[in-house]
Amino acid sequence: MHSGGCHCRKVRWHVRAPTSVIAWKCNCSDCSMRGNIHFVVPRGRFELLGDSEEFLTTYTFGTHTAKHTFCKVCGITSFYTPRSNPDGIAVTLSCLDPGTLSHAEIRHADGKNWEKFFQESGIASESKIGSTQ
């Protein structure tokens, strides 16, 4: 179990994931501007805590499949619903509280060539129960 959240701590969550994860550094227009590196988990392994929901807002663009949630107070995207895994949650690696993650393998996500990346990467399986992530 990992905990994390945004900078001002108004948004807090728990996520069930291994101590070693595969994380994706994406070069799409949104992720590259934010410097986002994330790992994906099934939605059922992610839980918002307390009154976090009231501090969230969402940005969408393009296909509107991805739901880029961020804190209304500090602006940090600590998690979001990715286009590659609309049934899952992408957790921002740098928003995990320290101490529970032992290793992160960083892989390149070619968001500029999204369709090709999606077909070749196998990322869609990461939001399925029983995935190795």
pLDDT in tens, 11-62: 999 999 999 999 989 888 888 888 899 999 999 999 999 999 999 999 988 8
- Residue 4 is predicted with a pLDDT of 97
Distances (CA, A) of 70 to 61, 83, 104: 14, 16, 23
Q: Give, for 30, the enclosing helix (H) or strand (E).
A: helix 29-34
Question: How buried is residue 50: exposed, middle or buried, by Cβ count under 10 Å (0-12/13-18/19+)?
Answer: exposed
Closest CA to 51 of 37, 71, 32: 71
Tokens of 124: 């869609």
What is this structure's pTM? 0.84
Average pLDDT value over all residues in the chain = 87
The model's pLDDT over 55-110, given as tens digits with 9 standing for 90+, comes to 999 998 888 877 889 999 999 999 999 887 888 999 999 999 999 999 999 988 77
